[in-house]
Amino acid sequence: MSSHDLHLEGAPFLKEQNAGLYEPAGSKSLGEATERSSKQNRAIAAEIPSWQDWRESARQIKQFAIANLDKLLVQFEERISARGATVLWAENAEQANRLVLDIAREHHVKTVVKGKSMVSEEMELNHTFEAAGIRAVETDLGEYIVQLAHQRPTHIVTPALHLSAEDVGKIFAERLGEPFSADHQHLTNVARRHLREEYLKADMGMSGVNFAVADTGTLVVVENEGNGGLSTSTPPIHVALMGIEKVLPSIYYLPVFLNLLGRSGTGQKLTTYTHLIHGATPGKKLYVIILDNGRTNVLADPATHAALHCIRCGACLNACPVYRRVGGWAYGWVYPGPIGSIVTPGLVGLKSAGKLPFASSLCGACQEVCPIKIDIPHQLVHLRHRAVNEPSPMNSLSERLTWKAWAWAMSGSKRYRLAMAAVRLGVRMAKFLPWHPGKLGAWTRGRELPRVPGPAFRKSWSRHRSQLDSHDRSDRT
């Protein structure tokens, strides 16, 4: 299955392909890399005695920011516009794509260099550029690799997590005509050499936004490779893409988030580069596109709106036993892992998100590592509840009837006995039927038909009691 097949189909989770990883041969790389990241995160967090206080502060700041989005976003717009930036608003991905294309056409853009942006993935911006004949080059190393391989990112922080150095060496040999090598330093140098040329040729640069600070009108972009800085400052135009949830009330709160993001995302005390962009550089253009794309739907549900507190550090993915097993593509859309299972139903609708809220063991590891203390397991349970009570793929007639029958059987002792007798009879009869019938086959293939146990306890007990009674009676006589 190619990753492109998954595009907005609704998550194919738990379909027949779930026997293993979607990413070819990704199991080993993914398992090792996520385990390593989780260990690093835990170790670095353990060094900070006030780690829990930082988490609580971040939670409260985000809670305030999301509750006051309307005022803070307008304040951010006013402040950054006063320093030459143009702020544009998009209700959905289509509008955002149109805005980017309008900017590109107005400035006769032929080549774009792109820093890392999950919003750009969400908008499928590269397809839009391709259709318009504009060359778009991803410059984050992981994004660059998956773009060359015509794949989708598997992780929100480390997009090429599923690929080994050998895989990357083969991709570079095939797509860039470079001699094969699996040496990490050599591969990095190759990417750097090719990307340098792209920065110098580019007519427009793009970036995501980690935080948008309202009181100073500042865009904050954090990164490790220097590509974010080059993409935003080398070309004459910079277009920044951000979701409405990126806003922070004040620059004074930024250090809390920078400390948490570096440690939780990549196990670093601080990311290598933190860019604070206060407005347009003289002689250059700065556009900021603020995207809703379903986020206000998430905001409208009090049980899940804390999902908007997410700072996309990826720690919950690394800690999740389900993500570690199946990888990112299985989730069928841009945001994988535990946070994706909440965000995706909010952004594309519960109906399209299919079974994502059920793709969790609810072990709570995600909540434990989340730097913003987002209660992911309870949000998943809430979405499961909605999924079985609202029209959705989880709410089929047969499933509803099954649960109704179960509730009826469990609500009285006579009904329960009757149901158990029916089950015993059913299991006895089942051995005369084919054991892998139709859709049930996916479930029955890995299971044995249980053996019907001896008489039920109630029956044995009443037989035993009547024997005891008859002994008593004979003793007395």
What are the phi and psi torsion angles at 292 (to 5°)? -90, -70
Q: Which of 370, 380, 387, 394 binds ligand SF4 (CB under 6 A)?
A: 370
Please tell me whether residue 61 binds ligand SF4 under the rule CB under 6 A.
no
Q: Is 340 in the site for ligand SF4 (CB under 6 A)?
A: no
Strand 247-248 and strand 111-114: the pairing is: unpaired
Structural tokens at position 55:
């988490």
Which SS3 state, helix, strand or coil, does residue 291 take? Answer: strand
Q: Does 313 bind ligand SF4 (CB under 6 A)?
A: yes
Distance CA 217, CA 247 (A): 10
User: For ligand SF4, which stretch binds (CB under 6 A), given 136-144, 205-213, 279-287, 363-371?
Assistant: 363-371
**Window 66-105: contact mask with ligand SF4 (x via CB under 6 A):** ----------------------------------------
Mention every residue, 6+ apart, whose C-beta is less than 8 A from residue 397.
Answer: none
Does position 371 interact with ligand SF4 (CB under 6 A)? The reply is yes
For residue 267, the minimal CB distance to ligand SF4 (Å) is 13
Question: In the complex, what is the shortest distance from the CB of residue 229 to ligand SF4, in angstroms, rounded to a whole number?
Answer: 24
Per CB under 6 A, the segment of 77-85, 312-320, 356-364, 408-416 that binds ligand SF4 is 312-320
Q: Does 348 bind ligand SF4 (CB under 6 A)?
A: no
Distance CA 99, CA 287 (A): 10
Residue 281 near residue 348 (C-beta atoms within 8 A): no
**Minimal distance, residue 217 CB to ligand SF4, in Å:** 24
Q: How far is the CB of 334 from ligand SF4 (least distance, A)?
A: 13
Taking CB under 6 A as the criterion, the residue among 103, 288, 372, 380 binding ligand SF4 is: 372
Longest dimension (CA), the chain: 114
Looking at beta carbons only, is 30 or 237 nearer to ligand SF4?
A: 30
Judged by CB under 6 A, the stretch of 16-24, 86-94, 235-243, 314-322 that binds ligand SF4 is 314-322
Q: Under a CB-based contact definition with an 8 Å cutoff, are residues 67 and 245 in contact?
A: no
Query: Looking at 120-128, 137-145, 368-376, 394-402, which segment touches ligand SF4 (CB under 6 A)?
Result: 368-376
Per the CB < 8 A criterion, the answer to whether 141 and 227 are in contact is: yes
Task: Give the integer Cα–Cα distance in Å for 391 and 24.
Answer: 34
Least gap, CB of 338 to ligand SF4 (angstroms): 6
> Using an 8 Å Cβ cutoff, are 427 and 450 in contact?
yes
- The answer to whether 324 contacts ligand SF4 (rule: CB under 6 A) is no
Task: Out of 21, 125, 311, 359, name the contact with ligand SF4 by CB under 6 A.
Answer: 311
When asked if residue 249 is in the footprint of ligand SF4 (CB under 6 A), the reply is: no
Q: Which residues have a Cβ under 8 Å from the Cβ of 238 and sit 6 or more positions away? A: 204, 205, 206, 207, 231, 232, 277, 284, 285, 286, 287
Name the nearest CA neighbour of 118 among 343, 441, 389, 338: 343
Cα separation, 72 vs 65, in Å, equals: 7
Number of residues that bind ligand SF4 (CB under 6 A): 14
Q: Does 214 bind ligand SF4 (CB under 6 A)?
A: no
Q: Least separation, in Å, of the C-beta of 264 and ligand SF4?
A: 6
How far apart CA 416 and CA 396 sit, in angstroms, is: 25
Residue 348 C-beta: closest distance to ligand SF4, Å: 18
Residue 10: name the closest of 344, 292, 396, 343 by CA. 344
User: What span, in angstroms and rounded, lies between the C-alpha atoms of 373 and 375?
Assistant: 6
Site for ligand SF4 in 259-278 (CB under 6 A): 264
* Closer residue to ligand SF4 in complex, CB, 205/336: 336
| Residues 6 or more apart in contact with residue 110 via CB below 8 angstroms | 134, 135, 203
The yes or no reply on residue 316 touching ligand SF4 (CB under 6 A) is: yes
Nearest to 150 by CA among 163, 166, 133: 163
DSSP 8-state class, residue 162: T
Distance CA 313, CA 323 (A): 15
Considering the complex, what minimum distance in angstroms separates the CB of residue 72 from ligand SF4? 19
* Binding of residue 356 to ligand SF4 (CB under 6 A): no
Decide: is 374 part of the binding site for ligand SF4 (CB under 6 A): yes
> Which listed range, 145-153, 243-251, 364-372, 458-466, lies at the site for ligand SF4 (CB under 6 A)?
364-372
Site membership for ligand SF4, residue 310 (CB under 6 A): yes
C-beta closer to ligand SF4: residue 30 or 204: 30
The residues of the shown chain that bind ligand SF4, judged by CB under 6 A, are 264, 310-316, 339, 369-372, 374
